Amino acid sequence: MNLSTDKFFLIFIFLYVTFSTNAQVTENAYWNKTDSLLNSGNSTGALVELERVVFTTPDQTIRQKAIFKKAMIHKSLARYREVQTELNRIGVIRAPEDTLFTMRAYELALAQYMTEDYQDALNTLENCVIMLSEENTATGSLLTLKALCHNQLFQFDEGERTLIQLQQLVPEEQAILYAKAIKKYEDTPKYKDPEKARHLSLLPGLGQVYTGKVFEGGISFLLNASALGFGAWQVYSGYYFTGYVVGVTLLQKFHSGGQHRAELLAVQKNRKNILEFNTEITTTLLEAGAE
C-alpha cells in the first residue's frame, strides 16, 4: 500500500516516540527500587539492588550506569577507596561524547584526590582531557582538579600552566578573576622534606627548627642533653649499670622520638600550607564561576 509522505512521516514520529517512551520507562524500572531504598535511608539495600542489576541486565549501558550509581552512593558515605573500585569496574569508555566518559573520569580522579593518590588522579585526568575538545563543558572542572593535584605534589609550575590553559577557555570577564588565581603562584608554599627533617634531627632539635618549631626544637635538645648528662654523671659516679640502663635508654628514646617527630612535623607543615594555598585558589575560582 502506498502512503503519502505526510502519513509516512506521522507514522515514523509515532513509532519513534512510542519506542523512546517505552525505553525510558523500561530503564527507569531499573532504578525505582534503588531510589526508594535511598529515600528511606537504606544505602546498603540500594547497593545490593544495584549489584543485582549489574549481574542480571544484558544491557551494557544499564550495567555501567548501575555501577556508577553504586560509586556515587559510596561517595556520599565518604568511602573513596570503594568509589575507585566501582568506577574501575566500568572499564574503558572510548567515546568522549558519552557523558559517562567524563563523569567517570572526574569522579575517579576526585576519589583518588581524596585518598591522596595525587599522581594517579593526574593520570586519570590527563587521559580524559587529551580526548576532549576544549569546547566540552566538563573541561573546566577537569582542569581545575588537575591544577589542585599538581599543587598537592608541589608541582606549582605545572599547576600554574594548567590554570593558564583554563583561563583561555573562559569569557573575558571571568578571565580577570582567573588571573587573580594565577597571580597567587608568585608566592607558593615552601616544601619541607620529611626525610631531610629526620636526618637533621641527628642533632637533636634541628629537625623541628627546620619545620618552624623552634621552641619545640629547643625542648628536644634539652631532653637529649639531660639524658646524656644524667648517664654520664652516673657513670662518673660509679653507677655504671644505672648510667647505661637509664641514661642510654632515655637518650635513645628521646633521640629516635625526636627524629620521628621532626618527620611528622614536616608532613603536617606541608599539608597545612598546601591546604591554605589550594583554598585560596579554589575560593578565587569559585568567584570566577559565580560571575
One-letter amino acid of 88 = N
Same domain, 130 and 203: no
Of 189, 213, 232, the residue that ends a domain is: 189
| Domain span including residue 141 | 41-189
pLDDT at 286: 77
Judge whether 249 lies within some domain: yes
200 versus 15: the higher-pLDDT residue is: 200
Same domain, 200 and 163: no
Same domain, 198 and 173: no
Q: How confident is the model at residue 225 (pLDDT cuts 50, 70, 90)?
A: confident
Same domain, 182 and 199: no
Q: Distance (Å, rounded) from C-alpha 156 to C-alpha 178?
A: 16
From residue 236, give the alpha-carbon distance in Å to each of 14, 244, 254: 104, 11, 22
Closest residue by Cα to residue 104 from 120, 127, 87, 118: 87
Q: For the ranges 133-142, 194-203, 234-243, which has the lowest average pLDDT?
A: 234-243
What is the grid cell recorded at 261? 617527630
Count, residues in the chain = 291
Q: How confident is the model at residue 3 (pLDDT cuts 50, 70, 90)?
A: very low
Same domain, 53 and 178: yes
Closest residue by Cα to residue 85 from 53, 59, 117: 117
Of 189, 221, 249, the residue that ends a domain is: 189
Mean pLDDT, the chain, integer: 82
Count of domains forming the chain: 2
pLDDT at 246: 63
Please write the tens of the pLDDT for every residue from 255-276. 788 889 899 999 999 999 999 9
Judge whether 243 lies within some domain: yes
Judge whether 116 lies within some domain: yes
Same domain, 159 and 199: no
Judge whether 143 lies within some domain: yes
Q: Distance (Å, rounded) from C-alpha 132 to C-alpha 207?
A: 46
Across residues 7-30, what is the average pLDDT?
Answer: 47
Please write the tens of the pLDDT for every residue from 46-88. 999 999 999 998 888 899 999 999 999 999 999 999 999 999 9
Contact at 8 Å (CB) between 109 and 121? yes
Same domain, 181 and 213: no
